[in-house]
Amino acid sequence: MNKKLVLVVAIVAVLVLGVGGGLVAALVVGDGDDSPSTDADPTSRSTEPAATPDTDTPTTAAGPVPEGLEEFYSQQLAWEDCGGNECAALTVPVDYLEPDGDTVDLKIERVPAGDQADRIGSVVVNPGGPGAPGTTMAENATGYFRSELLDRVDIVAFDPRGTGESDPVDCLDDADLDAFVAQDPAPDDAAEGEEITANQDEFFAGCVASSDSLIGHVSTVEAARDMDVLRAALGEEKLSYLGFSYGTTLGSTYAELYPGNVGRFVLDGATDPTLDFRDNALSQAAGFQTALDAYVDDCVDGGDCFLGDSREAGLATIEDLLADIEKSPLPTNQDRDLEAGNALYGLITPLYSRDSWSYLDQALEEALDGSGSTLLLLSDLYGSRNASGGYDDNSLEAILAINCLDDPSSIEPADVPAEFPAFDEASPTFGRVFAWGLIGCHGIQVEAAEPTPIIDGEGAAPIVVVGTTRDPATPYEEAVALAEQLDSGVLLTRDGDGHTGYNKGNSCIDEAVEGYLIDGTVPEDGTEC
């Protein structure tokens, strides 16, 4: 559920909640929010999903079938037991413009409604990313969703194309990926800038060399088209959907492509699809600075803060620590030192959830005492790196492959320093890192088959957009913007810290989200919780 920051090779991107499971899931799911609740009823009107538009194309019980895709839309899912849930494979074309060509099977996992007698249908879910294997949401359903929702709907998760067990893209071997993550995300001079740019070029060359033809077909548009095939295979005329972080990008793209098929949609931790490459980087830099400021303020307000007696002093302590680690990596309890890139990931991971701040306390106190063990552990969990030295999924590779198909923008390393003033203003702590992120997709060797559309979702049923006021990864302003852009957008605000709003301890948000997904009751636009 988090817009994941990937600055390996200096690219700013979006990733997921609990990408590595285990501690990272615990860090981000179940944020003990102390934000205010409200006694006001957050819901005001009810809706049924919009009527299916007239079409001359063949139809089934699952709605209109695009021409040439009949065999995909008519498939039946063969569910089998898998770890207490049910799993199936969904077959989709690699290239929707060439539906008679190669196909790919997507892993689907379903958690049947706990109360089958009162089951109302399916809700498709996505945790964000891009790059995260979505089936982790089904495997850890009780951590992601409240019982109120689990009792009434089937939770249906899927690994988007190129991720998890859906023909995962591969770009680097494990040792090279370790080095890729550990490198300094904010080079000090032109030579270092050229070096990480060369590493970026090698990364994308590896994607093409180590992956099949799907590497050019992992865009958000194609993943959204997969969701409509999934809707049909589930026998649903309308798609009900709960997407988090990048999952809101996927959901809003679906709403633009298939507005008449939109059922009850909730987009939590929303991204603003109108932001260009540079503005998106500035937005996320500011978001992480806001979260870090809130963390330091909490430490200072608690008294006897180990970072210093003011926000300025605390931030200076952290910034000096990062600079020292860049010059002299810290020893750890593993066979690796803590290097600059790992230190950054270890720092930002706990900012996704207020409940995780105690982990950050421990990690920073240890680092100030000369040990990088906990910061390295947090970095590894962020990237799904396991104790054996391998990776549990390909999320760190898929995120770059997907984002750079969606937007292949980049600038040359020589042009980065000119961006420093704007990025330093947005984030004194993280600004240079995000400025170097503007080298972006330098070296990408494939391009998207379909362009990313301009999004307004005209004709869709009400779409509930949830924003959290101090969200580090998807700043609140982006939720406000998406709700305004969507023709049927409804804004729901959580006043709190951490990433995303649902199931974070705020009953006002939880009841509004579940009220819509279960009963079709649309929250009043502008509701604040």
Residue 325 has pLDDT above 70, yes or no: yes
CA geometry: angle 225, 231, 237, nearest 5 deg: 120
| Residues β-bridged to residue 103 | 93
Residue 1 has pLDDT above 70, yes or no: no
**Per-residue pLDDT tens over the stretch 223-264:** 999 999 999 999 999 999 999 999 999 999 999 999 999 999
CB contact at 8 A, 410 and 442: yes
Cα separation of 199 and 194, whole Å? 9
Q: Which of 17, 10, 6 is nearest to 500 (CA)?
A: 17
**Per-residue pLDDT tens over the stretch 200-225:** 999 999 999 999 999 999 999 999 99
What is the residue-averaged pLDDT of the chain? Answer: 88
Q: Which of 464, 480, 462, 466 is nearest to 529 (CA)?
A: 466
User: What is the pTM assigned to this prediction?
Assistant: 0.88
Residue 254 tokens read as: 């679906």
Phi, psi of 182 (to 5 degrees): -80, -20
CB contact at 8 A, 404 and 202: no
CB contact at 8 A, 4 and 472: no
Residues 6+ apart with CB under 8 A from 498: 28, 31, 33, 291, 351, 352, 353, 354, 355, 468, 470, 471, 472, 504
The mean per-residue pLDDT over the stretch 30-49 comes to 37
| Residue 190 confidence class, pLDDT cut points 50, 70, 90 | confident
The mean per-residue pLDDT over the stretch 285-312 comes to 96
The mean per-residue pLDDT over the stretch 42-59 comes to 36
293 DSSP assignment: H
| Residues β-bridged to residue 45 | 522
Cα separation of 315 and 322, whole Å? 11
CB contact at 8 A, 483 and 491: yes
The mean per-residue pLDDT over the stretch 299-313 comes to 96
Residue 12 has pLDDT above 70, yes or no: no
pLDDT of residue 63: 61
Cα separation of 371 and 333, whole Å? 8
Q: At what angle do helices 357-368 and 373-382 cross, to 10 degrees?
A: 140
Instruction: Pick 1-529's CATH classification: 3.50.50.60, 3.40.50.300, 3.30.70.100, 3.40.50.1820.
Output: 3.40.50.1820
In this structure, the chain runs to a length of 529
Distances (CA, A) of 526 to 259, 490, 491, 493: 23, 7, 5, 7
User: 10-35 burial, b if ≥16 CB within 10 A, otherwise e?
Assistant: bbbbbbbbbbbbebbbbbbbbbebeb
pLDDT of residue 189: 85
Residues 6+ apart with CB under 8 A from 370: 330, 331
Residue 504 has pLDDT above 60, yes or no: yes
pLDDT of residue 461: 97
8 DSSP assignment: G
pLDDT of residue 440: 86
Residue 30 has pLDDT above 60, yes or no: no
Q: Which are the catalytic amino acids?
A: 245, 471, 499
**Per-residue pLDDT tens over the stretch 65-81:** 888 999 999 999 999 99
| Residue 192 confidence class, pLDDT cut points 50, 70, 90 | confident
Residue 242 tokens read as: 């709960």
Greater confidence (354 vs 511) lies with 511
**Per-residue pLDDT tens over the stretch 368-420:** 999 999 999 999 999 999 999 999 999 999 999 999 999 999 999 999 999 99
Greater confidence (52 vs 488) lies with 488
The mean per-residue pLDDT over the stretch 323-327 comes to 96
Distances (CA, A) of 320 to 10, 298, 350, 364, 392: 20, 20, 19, 12, 33
